[in-house]
Structure 1
Amino acid sequence: MNIEQLNKLISKGESHQLEFKKSTGQLKPAFESLCAFLNEAGGTILIGVTDKGKIAGQQVNDKTQQEIAREISKIEPKTSLNVHYIDVDENKQVIVIKCSAGKHIPYTYDGRSYERNQSTTERMSQHRYEQLIIRRGQLNHKWDSYTENDLTIKDLDQEEIRRTIKEGVDINRISAEALTYNIELILKNFKLIEHGKLTNAAVVLYAKDPSTIFSHCMIRLARFRGKDRVGDFIDNLQVHGNAFQLIKAAVDFSIRHLPIAGYFEPGKLQRIDQPAVPALAIREALINAICHRDYMVENATISLAIYDDRLEIWNIGELPPELDIESLKVPHDSYPRNQKIADVFYKRGWIENWGTGTLRMIGYCQNNQTPEPEFAQYKSGFAVIFRFKEAMNTAVTITPPSDFTPRQMEIIAVLKNVEEMSIRDIMDHLQLKPAERTLRKDLNYLKNAGIINSQGQARFTTWYFIKN
């Protein structure tokens, strides 16, 4: 680094990853901040620069270098820091101490651990420190590889396992020969059995009732009245189940509560439906949460909350130190916290190349002509935020009847905005398409309930909403 580069760096001002110290008289707080940088995304300390960004310089001699070396030795686990000296005057220098994100988090300085809060450094809480110690242990043995559970193959949803194989074969990610395998062999090929026992990944993915082992295998679903959690609940659910059950429940809940805007392009008679948030983008965010959540934290769950102006999916589990928010918006490597779980989603075709999930969310929203998702990192977790083009009016929001399924509610939403529609057209407008036989059952159920009606016969039958 030269003086020109130094001035450019100083011009950015103090931040989450940059701090100024006037002199080595502030070595202790400087190294507390370096410890915090190691525990997060890395950072730089400039010694010889005032809080206001003015270069003051620092006289450097053997004693100065020994003092710095002594403070470095107080950091545990041992790590290397880059120390540079930039000439700024005839006998003064600015000391630049730089570190990357640590590979053995959490680090301590002089027996204590630190973290950053915006542009300040704070003592790390004991709870947070213990969480990171556990996570460090996971680097050698991932949570989803553990086999400390008493479930057997009989406790798994074998139909869901078969569906995984079929869908994977259909897209050539699984050999067709696997269609003839027994369940145990399938699980072994997925590496979901180790030493004759089911891994935690097998429980999360396929257990009929994973909550018997892991109470946090659940998702919280809420529709709030207003734009924050102060408002009343319009709907509120807690769903326990395996990963595929949770995803289905959350997508169905979203479809039930999100509005669908309809419009006609000039010169065309075909009505185009535009959901507030594409179902595939929601599903992608949910899969991302399941693959990346920190299952070591048992008192937190994935949550999906719908407000008047947005949908938020929150997950316990921070970004890996190699990534930041901006890197999620461009092609990037993936660092799934739960590799075995992610592998199954990939083989089933529910995710593409690792590292593309956030880009797919953005693409789905762009194709839907709705705002791109926002990504937010908190100390307690990670959130994906889908904002609506227009806020909903809760004054006219109707709570769906409890005896209608999410798909039936979507059928009602489709038919409410047209004169009539054939079963094929209805199918085309549904985001998650059922079998035709299932759709006919739903239509007849709604007809018997007095919500919709039909006219015509056989293939000429059309369906319409009863407006009164």
Structure 2
Amino acid sequence: MSESQNIEWKRSWHDDYLKWICGFANAVGGTIYIGKDDDGVLTHLENHKALMESLPNKIRENLGIICDVNLHDEAGKKYIEIRVNPYSVPVSLRGRYYYRSGSSKMEMTGNTLNEFLLKKAGKTWDDVIEEGASLDDIDDNSIKTFVKDALKSGRMPNDIGELSTVELLEKIRLLDHGKLKRAAIILFGKDPNRFYPNIKVKIGRFGVNDADLRFQEVEEGNIIELLKTVPNQLNYKFFTKPIDFEGLLRIEKDEYPVPAVREMLLNALVHRSYMGSMIQMRVYDDKLNIWNEGLLPEGMDFESLKHHHISRPRNPLIADVCFKAGYIDSWGRGTLKIYEACKEMGLPEPEIISMDGGILVTVYKDPNIQATQQVGSTLEDSTKSIEQIQKEFGLLSDRITLGKETNIDFLRANYGVFSEEVRKKFGRNSDEIRTKFGEKSIYTVFLILLNNSISANEIGKLLGVTQRSIEKYIGTLKKDSIIERVGPDKGGHWKIIPKK
């Protein structure tokens, strides 16, 4: 026998062990043996008489609970058994709350404590009334979208389209005596971030590692909105090939399977801790991952996610509404769909792990296809004429005047194209320039490549920095013989100097 979820061994008594008793009482109960070493071997307890008199009182006075304290004798060696029952109400030690998880004791604070206290009160976070909210905070378009999707799924009666907003919210248990629950704000709120922080999804495009951040976007809004805006943003700016998020059964030889990406987003939105950090998606050259705050339910491990497991949502009201709309099922099959979709596409097995107080789900590209795509893309793009790229890029001065931001988006999206162009034509390593002079300097070189008559003022507007800063970048690039000015300031042009 070894120490576990409900067994703890101690050689002697110390009042600090009241924390262990508190942790057992708040979890599933357990037993502490005083007079045994870490291997469970009897060591004998010399002061067993004094402890038998003092321990019951210490436990009652400090924790407010009663435990069975028993003295045992084996072959003349004495030890004490403290049996702790699980309590339906929270138990604290001098205002602090402890919990037994696995074979360790943890102090609960912040969101963890909040969720624990709600659970002991028979509530979940999403089931709590939001006193500061009213029906004016509900977005009508999100309600209409839900009704349409729920009718399509067939999981709600056909007459729900005839219900008023109040009647509908009451029917799906998001309204209690005229007051909105937190789940209503998360699902249908006009501005959920006004009530809770970080109701957002941050998406970043990285290269080979986390140090190589190329660009990022943040989407915010209620769940109904995020289920549309996040896929749209991924398709518009982050995925090489757009994918059809509506066609859940569509599986093709592409970067990632549609069902896997959709389930990753849905799982993060439904099961996250909404008082924690925002959801974060990272798109790399070879993989895609998503992280949400909040750990697995007690008693569930990551291996079980690969097989049949019971659905135990952190936010049951939110999960129920998403089920009724047809977004998820109620059988705990979300992670199975991710594994199955990747397997059907012949991709490496996804990875689901615990990281930084949350869950990180990662899907990988096919290494062979990825290599082919990278080589093919480089060859194809590098054979484009610079004139063709300039035509795609458009007239810089016109776009600057209109105040649009599409220029820098285009530049970032074609970063690899320009890097290859600079390397082939001028023998310049873009990473070296960026490392030595900074990101803005390499963007300056790219903009000169696109339009050799561009001014420092125009570059500054595109990159969001002052003309003075660009002139400083240009000065360092000229000093290092990377670029040079041909002709006068007016009427002249820039030239990238080939590396000797």
Tell me if structure 2 keeps the 8 A contact 1:292–1:317: yes
Q: Secondary structure at the match of 2:219?
A: strand
Q: 1:92 aligns with which of 49, 52, 77?
A: 77
Aligned to 1:109: 93
Aligned to 2:273: 294
Tell me if structure 1 keeps the 8 A contact 2:8–2:32: yes
Aligned to 2:258: 279
Question: What is the rounded CA distance, in whole Å, between the counterparts of 1:35 and 1:186 in structure 2?
Answer: 43
Aligned-residue Cα RMSD (Å) equals: 4.4
Q: 2:18 aligns with which of 13, 31, 35?
A: 31
Larger Rg: 2
Q: 1:196 aligns with which of 178, 187, 201?
A: 178
- Residues 162-219 of structure 1, C-alpha deviations (whole Å, 9 max, x = no match): 3322332233211112233344432332233333344332222123433344443212
- TM-score when normalising by structure 2: 0.59
- TM-score when normalising by structure 1: 0.63
CA shift at 1:258, angstroms? 5.4
Q: Secondary structure at the match of 1:315?
A: strand
Tell me if structure 1 keeps the 8 A contact 2:347–2:366: no
Tell me if structure 1 keeps the 8 A contact 2:70–2:81: yes
Aligned to 1:148: 131
Q: How many residues of Structure 1 are paired with residues of Structure 2 in the alignment?
A: 371
The structure showing larger relative contact order (alpha-carbon pairs under 8 Å, at least 6 residues apart) is: 1
Q: Secondary structure at the match of 2:13?
A: helix
Aligned to 2:217: 237
- Residues 414-466 of structure 1, C-alpha deviations (whole Å, 9 max, x = no match): xxxxxxxxxxxxxxxxxxxxxxxxxxxxxxxxxxxxxxxxxxxxxxxxxxxxx
CA shift at 1:145, angstroms? 4.1
Question: What is the rounded CA distance, in whole Å, between the counterparts of 1:360 and 1:103 in structure 2?
Answer: 36
Question: What is the rounded CA distance, in whole Å, between the counterparts of 1:386 and 1:77 in structure 2?
Answer: 45
Q: Secondary structure at the match of 1:273?
A: coil
CA shift at 1:361, angstroms? 3.4
Residue 163, structure 1, aligned to residue 145, structure 2? yes
Residue 342, structure 1, aligned to residue 331, structure 2? no
CA shift at 1:301, angstroms? 1.8
Gapped runs of 5+ residues in structure 1? 1-8, 261-271, 405-468
Question: What is the rounded CA distance, in whole Å, between the counterparts of 1:384 and 1:102 in structure 2?
Answer: 32
Question: What is the rounded CA distance, in whole Å, between the counterparts of 1:117 and 1:141 in structure 2?
Answer: 20
90 and 32 in structure 1: CA distance in 2 versus 1, 3 angstrom threshold: same
Q: Secondary structure at the match of 2:169?
A: helix
Aligned to 2:63: 76
Aligned to 2:227: 247
Question: What is the rounded CA distance, in whole Å, between the counterparts of 2:332 and 2:199 in structure 1?
Answer: 24
Aligned to 2:436: none
- Residues 14-72 of structure 1, C-alpha deviations (whole Å, 9 max, x = no match): 577754322xx234343323434555676654433323564435579665444443343
126 and 253 in structure 1: CA distance in 2 versus 1, 3 angstrom threshold: same
Q: Secondary structure at the match of 1:73?
A: helix
Aligned to 1:20: 9
Question: What is the rounded CA distance, in whole Å, between the counterparts of 1:65 and 1:98 in structure 2?
Answer: 13
User: Which stretch has the larger CA shift, 299-308 or 241-250?
Assistant: 299-308
Report 1:207-218 matches (<5 A). Answer: 207-218=189-200
CA shift at 1:90, angstroms? 1.8
Q: 1:321 aligns with which of 295, 298, 313?
A: 298
Q: 1:385 aligns with which of 361, 378, 388?
A: 361
Q: 1:355 aligns with which of 308, 332, 353?
A: 332
Give the letter for the 1:385 counterpart: V
- Residues 246-296 of structure 1, C-alpha deviations (whole Å, 9 max, x = no match): 233333455554577xxxxxxxxxxx834454332333233333333333x
Tell me if structure 2 keeps the 8 A contact 1:43–1:100: yes
Give the letter for the 2:76 counterpart: N
Question: What is the rounded CA distance, in whole Å, between the counterparts of 1:344 and 1:175 in structure 2?
Answer: 14
CA shift at 1:101, angstroms? 6.9
Percent of matched pairs sharing the same residue = 28
